Every structure is written in structure tokens, then in C-alpha cells.
Amino acid sequence: MNALLTCWLGTALATPLYLRADVVHTVSGDPIDNGAVIVDDGKILAVGPAASLAIPEDAWVLSGAVLTPGLIDGWTTAGLTGPLNSSGDQDHAESDHAVDPALRALDGYHPRDPLLGWLRGLGVTTLHAGPSPGQPVSGRTFIAENRVASVDEIALKDDAFVVFSLGEQPKNRFGSQGSASRMGNAATIRQALEDARDYATRRALPPADRASRDLGQDALVELLAGKRRALFHAHRADDIQTALRIAEEYGLDLVLAGAAEGWMVAEDVAAAGVPVLIGPVMARSWRDGEQRNSSFEAAAVLADAGVTVGFMSGYEGYVPKVRVVLFEAAIAAANGLGFSRTLRSLTLDAAGILGIADQAGSIDVGKRADLVLFDGDPFEYASHACVVVVGGAVVSETCH
């Protein structure tokens, strides 16, 4: 029943929307008291004080306490990992090849997964889905709006970053394939990049001598040419520095993810101008040793040092099956990052990191209408996300 209702609501695109809130946080500018936003045709048509924005004739009027841009999950396996946690619904990783850049998250993404619905109800409107940490060189990510439709219809970027992993995950999963030590893991990554350089050369040869097409190598070649970006998952300070080093050696456009100890090397990260997707904030103590120095204040320390910060929900192997960036970020907010910076991290900065800031991440005329109406402080435990709009369509209308 919920699926049917959501589908029906999702196709109510034709109706313009008029969203009014006691406070509208555009993020790109100052908050607007008693503000309003007009949405039509999937886009933001107007934003400003409600008093100066007339309600269009057939508009659906929605009202609340706080309006924000839709929230962006910087990196997640939601969509690739269903709630059952059995082999049938887990599509986040391969286990045979340490170097596997031919994988595309889009090919495994399940838009109807109930956990995506859960996140949708809490205001997560854009997801950056990709393989879980593990393979030293993994596959390519998929940036999508959080809506029930085919992957082609929801794609914002169907083939985005190449994912790399450092630290304990490759040791756990590919220890017998060259990643038993951090040395081996880094060597595997470097060799893969060198092989890609070599492949690029051999692809340029005349047909008789040309190397056969390798989908994975193609992606690495694009990465080396600056046409793609690299997402490196690393928690420990030395792993973060390894990522910075490899990126510099090969001229990679780098984004760091995880970064439990990022706060300990904040200056290095800032100096490198590399953005960071933090997660989990609420690290649990049974997890990998590499998160032992995590801190609720990590995001604040990085932001104070001038690093651009976003939040990610990552991969969860057990219960609960997915994290909620709104909840993770709230802890960071209350531990030094503060309201404005946290909201920016969840929206415009995350959009910038993912390369979609031209279309999402703030309430500006012409951008996608991804919006969330809350009944109170968005970060407060007992507040609710009461209306969620994705691409101009109301996808959730009950308070969560």
C-alpha cells in the first residue's frame, strides 16, 4: 500500500507546489523568516518572503516550521544492500578481484528497496551509492535522486567516482590477494594505475596491435585524465596520508570518505584542498580498530581547519542496516559543528563534493526542487520531517 501511495504521489508532478515555513534555509544565503518557495516542473521557480510571493492558482500549499534543501548522503550502500541482509539482497561488493573498476553501482541499484523509502521519509533526497569499502580498487558510483522509478529516470550521474579502499577493510576481504598488509594494498592500487597508463598507450595503437577493450581500465584512464574523480575510503591518519600521497603522485581529483582520524591530520587535509565525507559519526566500539580514535567533534575540527565536510552513511553489516545522515550529522552539530555548518554540510557542500552543486544543494531559482519541511529544529531528536519533495514531486507527506 505504501508503495502504491508513494508511486501515486511521485507522479503528481503536474501540480505546482507552494511551500511556506516559519524559517526557510536556502543555505546559499541568509535564512528567510516566514519564507516561501514555489515549485513547478521539478524546479524551484521562486524563493523569498511569503508576503511577496503570491500562491499560484492550482498550487498545492504545504506549511511547516523549517524548510531546508533536501539532504544528500555523500556515500552509501543503500540501494545495494537490502534490509534482509541475506545473500539475495546484498549487492555491495565483489570478492574475487582486488581490482575491479568495471563494476557500476547503477547495475545493482534497487530503487524500490524499503530502506531507501525509510531514508526518503527522513528527508534524504539524493544518494551517492557505491560499492562498500573492501576492494583496493573498486567500482564506480551512482548519484541518484531518492525516488521510486527506474535507475535511468532517477540518475543525476549514472557513472561517477571510482572507489578505492585503504586500511582494515581490504585486509579483511582481500588479505589473500595482496592486501594482507597496508604496503601490499597501496602497491596494488599503484600497479592498477600504472597498468591503466600502459593500457591507454596500447589502446592508441593501430588496430592490429591495439589492446582489447577493458571496461575497468577505461574508467581508470578517465580518472588519470582528470575526467573522473576518486573516492578513497580511509579511517586511520596514516591511511588518509597514503590517500593524499597517491592522489598527488597520479594527479587524482580526490575525495576522502570515512576519516575517523581525519581530525588528527586536519591541517594536511586542508592543505591538500581535499574534501571529506565523514561517517559514521556514531561509531560503535565493536568495529574496526581503525575507528578507535573517532570523535563526535571530528567534523567540527576539520571544518575549523577549513576542510569542506559532508556526511555519509556508508556500509552497515548488521543491525540497523543503514545509517541516516540526518541523525549522524545531528551529533556532529551538537558537538561543535553547529546548526548552520551542519546544514550546509548535508546540502550545498555535499552537492559540491559530488559535483552536482549546479543542480542541487540549495534553495535557489532554477535548481532541482529537492526540499524538506520539518516541524521543528531539523537536528532535534523529537522533530519530524513532515514533507519531502524530490524533483518537484511530493514523495512523503507523513511526519517521520
Partner 1 sequence: MAAPIAWVGAVVHPVSGPPIADGVVVVDGAVIVAVGARADVVIPQDADVYDVSGKHIAPGIIDLHSHIGGGRLHESLGPVQPGVAAVDAIDPSHPSIDRARAGGITTVNVMPGSGKLLGGQTALLSLRPGVLIDDLLLCEDPESHRWQTASSLDAAAPDAPPARHARVCGGVKMANGTNPQGDGGDPKSRMGSAYLQRKALLDAKARAAVLDAADARAAAGWWARRRLPDVKRPEPDIAQDVLVQVVRGERIVHFHSHRADDMVTALRLREEVGPQLRLVLHHGSEGFKVAQALADAGVPLAINVLDTPGGKEETLERQLGNPAAVAELGVPVSIITDDPVQDSRLIRRSAGLAVRGGLDPVLALRALTLSPAEALGIAAQTGSLEPGKEADLIVLSGPPLSVWTHVEQTWADGVRVYDRADPAQRVFSTGGDAVVAP
Partner 2 sequence: MIPLLCALVHVAIAAPIAFVGATLHPVSGPRIDDGVLLVEDGQILNIGARGGLAIPDNAVQLDSSGKHIIPGLVDSHSHIGGSRLNEALGPVQPGLSAVDAFDPTHTSVDRARAGGITTVHVMPGSGKLIGGQTAYLKLRRSSVVDDMMLCVDPPDGAALPARRGRCGGMKMANGTNPQGDGGDPKSRMGAAFLQRQALARGQQRLKALDNGPPAPHDPTDLDGDVLAEVVSGQRTVHFHTHRADDIATILALRREFGIDVVLHHVSEGWKVADAIAAAGLPCSLIVIDAPGGKPEAMQLSLQTGAILEQKGVPVAFHTDDPITDSRLFLRSAGLAVRGGMSPDGALRALTLTPAEMMHLDDTIGSLQPGKAADLVVLSGPPLSTWTRVEQTWVEGHKVFDRATPEGAALAAGGGADLALPEEPR
Judged by the rule CB under 8 A, the positions of this chain that interact with partner 2 are 1-4, 6, 83-84, 114-115, 117-118, 120-122, 396, 398, 400
Query: What sign results for the dihedral spanned by CA atoms 168, 169, 173, 176?
Result: negative
Q: How far is the CB of 388 from partner 2 (least distance, A)?
A: 9
Does the N-terminal peptide bond of residue 136 adopt cis geometry, omega within 30 degrees of 0?
no
The residue (of 89 and 364) whose beta carbon lies closer to partner 2 is: 89
Q: How far is the CB of 396 from partner 2 (least distance, A)?
A: 6
The residue (of 59 and 331) whose beta carbon lies closer to partner 1 is: 331
Q: Are strands 254-258 and 230-234 parallel, antiparallel or unpaired?
A: parallel
4 binds, among partner 1, partner 2, none (CB under 5 to 8 A by kind): partner 2
Q: How far is the CB of 322 from partner 2 (least distance, A)?
A: 11
2 binds, among partner 2, partner 1, none (CB under 5 to 8 A by kind): partner 2
The residues, ordered by sequence, that sit 6+ positions from 128 with a Cβ below 8 Å of its Cβ are 72, 73, 74, 75, 76, 141, 142, 143, 160, 161, 312, 354
The residue (of 126 and 291) whose beta carbon lies closer to partner 1 is: 291
170 binds, among partner 2, partner 1, none (CB under 5 to 8 A by kind): none
The residues, ordered by sequence, that sit 6+ positions from 256 with a Cβ below 8 Å of its Cβ are 232, 234, 240, 243, 262, 269, 274, 275, 276, 277
The residue (of 115 and 193) whose beta carbon lies closer to partner 2 is: 115
Q: How far is the CB of 254 from partner 2 (least distance, A)?
A: 34
Give CA separation, 9 vs 2, 272, 374, 397, in Å. 10, 45, 19, 9
The residue (of 113 and 222) whose beta carbon lies closer to partner 1 is: 113
Sheet containing 371-374: give its strands across.
43-49, 32-40, 17-24, 60-69, 371-374, 385-390, 393-396
1 binds, among partner 2, partner 1, none (CB under 5 to 8 A by kind): partner 2
State the residues that interact with partner 1 by CB under 8 A: 82-86, 114-115, 118-119, 260, 282-286, 289, 291-297, 316-324, 327, 330-331, 333-335, 377, 379-384, 400
Q: How far is the CB of 124 from partner 1 (least distance, A)?
A: 11
The residue (of 219 and 322) whose beta carbon lies closer to partner 1 is: 322
> CA-to-CA distance for 134 and 163, rounded, in angstroms?
10
Q: 254, 280 in Cβ contact below 8 A? A: no
